[in-house]
Amino acid sequence: MVLDPGLVDWADQDLAAHTAVARARMVPQRELEELLADHVARLGVPVRRGVEVTALEDTGDGVLVATTAGPVRTGWLVGCDGGRSTVRRLTGIAFPGTDPELTGHLAVVDIADPEKLADGWTWSARGAYRCGPQPGRVATVEFGRAPADRTEPVTLDELQAVLRRVSGTDVTLTALRGAATRWSDNARQAAAYRSGRVLLAGDAAHVHSPFGGQGLNLGVGDAMNLGWKLGAVVAGWAPEGLLDTYDAERRPLGAWVLDWTRAQSGAMRGDAASAALRQVLADLLGTRDGATHAVKQISGVTQRVDLPGGHPPVGRCAPDLWLTDGSRLADHGHGGGFLLLDRTPDGTLARLAGAWSGRVTGLADAGGAGTGGGDAAPAGVLVRPDGVVAWACDTGRTADAAAGLEAALHRWAGAPSPSAGAR
Ligand SMILES: Cc1cc2nc3c(=O)[nH]c(=O)nc-3n(C[C@H](O)[C@H](O)[C@H](O)COP(=O)(O)OP(=O)(O)OC[C@H]3O[C@@H](n4cnc5c(N)ncnc54)[C@H](O)[C@@H]3O)c2cc1C
C-alpha cells in the first residue's frame, strides 16, 4: 500500500500548520548518523566506540557502570542500546508485548534471472516479496516461520531460499551487496522507561516491525523529550517530578506505534481474510481523507502529549509561527531552551518570563504573523526545549493569562533564576 502525496489535503489545518511535513524526504541512515555525530562533536561530547557495557549498579546517588574499557561512574545512565538492551536486562525492567509472527529480510543483491520476479509487492500463501524501488533491492516477508538466530549474519544462501519460498520460483541470487537485514514483528514495550537513575530510550524502550518506518523517529522523539529534562536535573533547576513526565509522555506514543505496526502485520498475511483487509485499506488510503489521515498520523502532527491547559496547541509540536522579522519561531530554538513568543502590544508576557532568563528566551513580536497555515497565531506561546507547546493563550492582557504563564513556567522551567532580578 503506497501513499499518494497527490491525494493528500495539504490545506488541512494540522498539515498547513506544519509546512515542513510537505517537504519531508527520506534521509539515508548513514547521512543522519553523520549529522548527529557532527552535532555531538560540536557540543564537545566524547563518543567512545567499541566499548561494551557489561554490568551496572544504581547506588542511589549515581550509577557504577562496568565496561570493556574499565569502570565508569556517572550520575545517570540512559540505555540507548537497542532492542536487546543490556541496560534494560541488567536493570530488570520487563519487556512485555507480542511474539513475532513473521520474519522479514531486506538486502541489495545481484539476480541472475530477474525476469522470474515481479515488480512491486507480490503476495503468495507463504508471504510476500518486493523488488525495487532501487535496482537489486529485495524485501521479503514470511509468515509462520520462527525468526532465525538474529545474531547470525544473513547469508546469500539464506536470502535465496527465502526468496524462492515466497515467490514460488527458482530464482538465483549471485551476490550480496552490502549488509542484509533480518527482522521480525516482535512488538514489545518496556514496563518502565525509568528505574531509579537508569533510563531507557529508543529501541531499548520499544521494538516493533519496521513497517511504516517509525522506529528511528520514535527513538529521536524519546531523546528530544528526555534530553532537556535530564539536563535540567543535572543542572539543578528541574521542578519536582520533571523526570517522571518522560515515561508518562512517551509511553502512549510508543504504544501507538506498536499498534500501528501490528495493524500492518495483520494486513500482510497470505490468507484470504488478510488479502481482503489489504484491499479495504488500500481503497481507504486511495481517498483524500484516508491519505490525509495516514500522513497526519505518520508525520506526528496529530501527536499530543497530555498536558494541562485547554488551548488547542498545548501538548502538540509547536506549529510554524512566523515573526515580523521574517524568521520562524523554530529558527530561535537551536539553543535548546524554552521559547516564549509574546504578541501582546505591551510585551507583558515576555517581561514576566524575564525572571527565568537563561532558561527562557522571550520573543516580543507584537502584531506578528500567523501560522504557516495562515491562521491567527495565539497571543502567547511557551514552547519547551523539545518543541512541545507547554502553554498558550489568545489574549495576554488579562491577569488569567499572566497567571497561566507563570504556573506553566514554574511547572516546566522550575523556580525563577535568583540572578534575573525583580519582575
Ligand atoms: C529493516 C529495517 C528498516 C527500518 N527502517 C526504518 C525507517 O525507514 N525509518 C525509521 O524511523 N526506522 C526504521 N527502522 C528502525 C530503526 O532502525 C531503529 O528503530 C533504530 O535503529 C533504533 O535506534 P537505537 O539507537 O534505539 O538502537 P540501535 O540502532 O539498535 O543502536 C543500539 C546501539 O547500542 C549498541 N549496544 C548494544 N549493546 C550494547 C552494550 N552492551 N554496550 C554498549 N553498546 C551497546 C549497539 O552496538 C548499537 O550501536 C528500521 C529497522 C529495520 C530492521
Q: Could you check whether the bond before residue 5 is cis, i.e. omega within 30 degrees of 0? A: no
Ligand 1 atom nearest to 181, measured from its CA = 1
Are 127 and 138 contacting, i.e. CB atoms less than 8 angstroms apart? no
- Which of 34-48, 241-255, 320-334 is predicted least confidently? 320-334
Are 54 and 71 contacting, i.e. CB atoms less than 8 angstroms apart? no
Cell numbers at 131, concatenated: 523488488
Tens digits of residue pLDDT in 84-122: 999 999 999 999 999 999 999 999 999 999 999 998 889
- Report which protein residue has its CA nearest ligand 1's atom 39: 81
Most ligand 1 atoms within 8 A of CB, residue of 26, 102, 203, 226 to mutate: 203
Are 90 and 210 contacting, i.e. CB atoms less than 8 angstroms apart? no
Among 304, 306, 305, 309, CA closest to 404: 309
DSSP-assigned beta bridge partners for residue 128: 123, 141
CA of 216 to the centre of ligand 1 (A): 7
Are 54 and 65 contacting, i.e. CB atoms less than 8 angstroms apart? no
For the chain, which domains are there? 5-97+189-299 (3.50.50.60), 102-184 (3.30.70.2450), 329-420 (3.40.30.120)
Most ligand 1 atoms within 8 A of CB, residue of 102, 159, 208, 216 to mutate: 216
CA of 116 to the centre of ligand 1 (A): 33
Tens digits of residue pLDDT in 54-72: 999 999 999 999 999 999 9
CA of 219 to the centre of ligand 1 (A): 9
**Residue with the larger pLDDT of the pair 401 and 421:** 401
* Phi, psi of 377, deg, nearest 5: -80, 150
pLDDT of residue 178: 83
Ligand 1 atom nearest to 104, measured from its CA = 1
Q: Is 52 helix (H, G, I), strand (E, B) or coil?
A: coil
Give the binding-site residues of ligand 1, using a 6 Å CB cut-off: 52-53, 80-82, 86, 106, 181, 183, 202-204, 210, 213-217, 219
Tens digits of residue pLDDT in 204-221: 999 999 988 899 999 999
pTM of the model: 0.92
Q: Is 388 helix (H, G, I), strand (E, B) or coil?
A: strand
In b/e form, how buried is each residue of 160-197, taking b as 16+ CB within 10 angstroms? bebbebbbebebebeebeeebebbbbbbbbbebbbbeb
What are the strands of the beta sheet with 97-98, ordered from one edge? Answer: 97-98, 187-189, 206-207
pLDDT at residue 369 is higher than 80: no
CA of 203 to the centre of ligand 1 (A): 6
